């Protein structure tokens, strides 16, 4: 049995004094103090040799598996530089830098905890999700605005575009508004550098368009994308997970930058965005990419941005109708509301194999034409 904790030292001193007197058999004395004969002899030997009677550390004199001090210092330095990155990301950075015998992520987590650098995850973070990604870069770009925030002067509307396959951040621009011209300027710069994607997905509403509205209304921005040969799609209303990777990117942007900086103006915001974007694309290990960086999985599109919009052409069997000033077109004596942004542009009415008629703008399927009701209903072909 162990010594009673609240009188450990006094009991050991008393035991030694009584043992020296030999008034009781040694085994009986040990029994009365609740210790084994082995423990009793140990404390008698310590007292005889003048050693301390306090408990000594059981930590080994040497620990061959202990992380070297210089490597532990590098772990601490990386955490201080990237305060939200955990053991897996830091281990990946160390391995990428050529470090030998990189500690396991769990060991790095213990190092961070020992140095007081580990913070509890906020509610809702972590967990495993079922992921889907397109098979190659530029098959899909997700585009949206991160929620605006106040500057010392004015407000900032961060425009973001993320490649679905690689998670490569194509656009991170600090804009003063959410107008179509502002988005178009940013997209032209991206198209000139990275080429054209196959498809872009956006939320409903301005400036993207409102395909769920009467007439499947398209915006000038979405019409411009369609004329460039880019397929456009829109998230279901109240379903932000359709643009889930871009939404997750927004959460990382907020945690690693927006919540940690006081941003003065748009120029200051863009400088911070550029630096953080470079780190995100080329330095930060991405969990969903097996700790690779997005830039390692991305490559520019082979479809270049054209100097001019290509002409709108339809097949010989299509019935072509031009949209009037009020966003309406006439077909076989009936008027159909389409989009004011399509003013003076041609729309094709194409008969399908089942005998129904569907409306198309360039390659974009607008929906099934109901001549009796005078409507165009959005449907899948």
Same structural domain, 257 and 158: yes
- Domain of 105, CATH number, reads 1.10.10
Same domain, 292 and 156: yes
Are 156 and 259 in a shared domain?
Answer: yes
User: Could you give the number of structural domains in the chain?
Assistant: 4
β strands within the chain, DSSP E: 141-145, 149-150, 155-163, 169-175, 199-202, 209-210, 217-218, 231-234, 319-322, 328-331, 334-337, 346-351, 357-361, 364-370, 375-377
Torsion sign (Cα): 151, 122, 85, 165? negative
Residue 129 lies in a domain: no
212 and 90 in a single domain? The answer is: no
Q: Which two tokens stand for residue 136?
A: 């190659």
Whether 31 is covered by a domain: the verdict is yes
Task: Tell me 115's DSSP state.
Answer: T
| pLDDT value at residue 15 | 83
| pLDDT in single tens digits along all 381 residues of the chain | 455 544 677 778 878 877 887 777 888 888 878 889 998 898 888 888 888 777 776 766 566 667 777 888 888 888 888 888 888 888 888 888 888 888 888 888 888 887 777 765 433 344 444 456 778 999 999 999 998 999 988 899 999 999 999 999 999 999 999 999 999 999 999 999 999 999 999 987 788 876 555 445 689 999 999 999 999 988 765 555 668 899 999 999 999 999 988 899 999 999 999 999 999 999 999 888 889 999 999 999 999 999 899 999 999 999 999 999 988 999 998 999 888 889 999 999 999 989 999 999 999 998 899 888 888 887 666
Residue 58 lies in a domain: no
Residue 324 and residue 269 share a domain: no
Same domain membership, residue 362 and residue 243: no
* d(C-alpha 300, C-alpha 194), whole Å: 5
What CATH number is associated with residue 192? 3.30.420.10
pLDDT for 130 equals 47
Note whether 243 and 344 are same-domain residues.
no
Contacts of 345 (CB under 8 A, 6+ apart): 223, 312, 322, 323, 361
List, in order, residues 6 or more apart from 127 with CB less than 8 Å away.
none
Same domain for 182 and 243: yes
Are residues 284 and 171 part of one domain? yes
Residues 31 and 74 in one domain: no
What's residue 195's pLDDT? Answer: 94
Instruction: Tell me, yes or no, whether 311 lies in a domain.
Output: no
Predicted pLDDT at 151:
92
Residue at 40 is within a domain: yes
217-218 and 328-331: which strand pairing? Answer: unpaired
The pTM of the full predicted model, rounded to 2 decimals, is 0.74
Shared domain for 195 and 330, answered yes or no, is: no
Shared domain for 147 and 290, answered yes or no, is yes
Q: How far apart are CA 281 and CA 177, in angstroms?
A: 25
pLDDT at 63: 60
In a domain, 301, yes or no: no
Domain-ending residue, one of 235, 263, 296: 296
Domain extent, residue 9, equals 5-48
Q: Is residue 130 part of a domain?
A: no
């Amino acid at each position: 049995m162990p010594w009673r904790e609240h009188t450990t030292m006094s009991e050991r001193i008393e035991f030694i004094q009584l043992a020296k007197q030999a008034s009781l058999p040694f085994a009986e004395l040990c029994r009365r103090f609740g210790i084994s004969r082995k423990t009793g002899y140990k404390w008698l030997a310590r007292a005889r040799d003048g050693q301390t009677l306090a408990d000594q550390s059981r930590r080994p004199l040497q620990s061959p598996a202990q992380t070297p001090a210089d490597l532990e210092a590098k772990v601490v330095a990386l955490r201080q530089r990237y305060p939200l990155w955990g053991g897996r990301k830091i281990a990946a950075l160390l391995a990428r830098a050529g470090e030998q015998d990189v500690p396991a992520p769990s060991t790095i987590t213990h190092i961070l905890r020992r140095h007081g650098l580990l913070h509890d995850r906020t509610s809702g973070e972590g967990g495993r999700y079922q992921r889907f990604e397109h098979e190659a870069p530029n098959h899909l770009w997700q585009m949206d605005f991160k929620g605006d925030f106040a500057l010392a002067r004015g407000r900032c509307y961060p425009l973001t575009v993320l490649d679905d396959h690689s998670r490569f951040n194509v656009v991170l621009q600090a804009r003063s508004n959410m107008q179509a011209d502002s988005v178009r300027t940013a997209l032209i710069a991206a198209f000139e550098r990275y080429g054209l994607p196959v498809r872009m997905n956006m939320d409903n509403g301005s400036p993207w368009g409102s395909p769920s509205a009467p007439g499947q209304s398209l915006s000038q921005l979405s019409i411009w994308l369609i004329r460039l040969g880019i397929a456009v799609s829109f998230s279901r209303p109240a379903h932000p997970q359709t643009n889930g990777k871009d939404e997750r990117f927004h959460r990382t942007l907020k945690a690693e930058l927006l919540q940690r900086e006081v941003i003065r103006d748009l120029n200051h915001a863009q400088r911070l965005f550029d630096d953080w974007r470079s780190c995100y694309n080329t330095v930060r290990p991405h969990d969903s990419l097996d700790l690779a960086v997005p830039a390692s999985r991305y490559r520019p599109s082979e479809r270049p941005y054209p100097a001019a919009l290509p002409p709108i052409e339809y097949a010989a069997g299509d019935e072509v109708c031009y949209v009037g000033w009020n966003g309406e077109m006439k077909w076989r004596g009936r008027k159909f509301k389409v989009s004011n942004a399509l003013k003076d542009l041609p729309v094709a009415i194409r008969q399908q194999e089942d005998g129904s008629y569907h409306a198309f703008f360039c390659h974009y399927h607008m929906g099934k034409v109901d001549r009796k009701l005078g409507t165009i209903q959005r449907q899948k072909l």
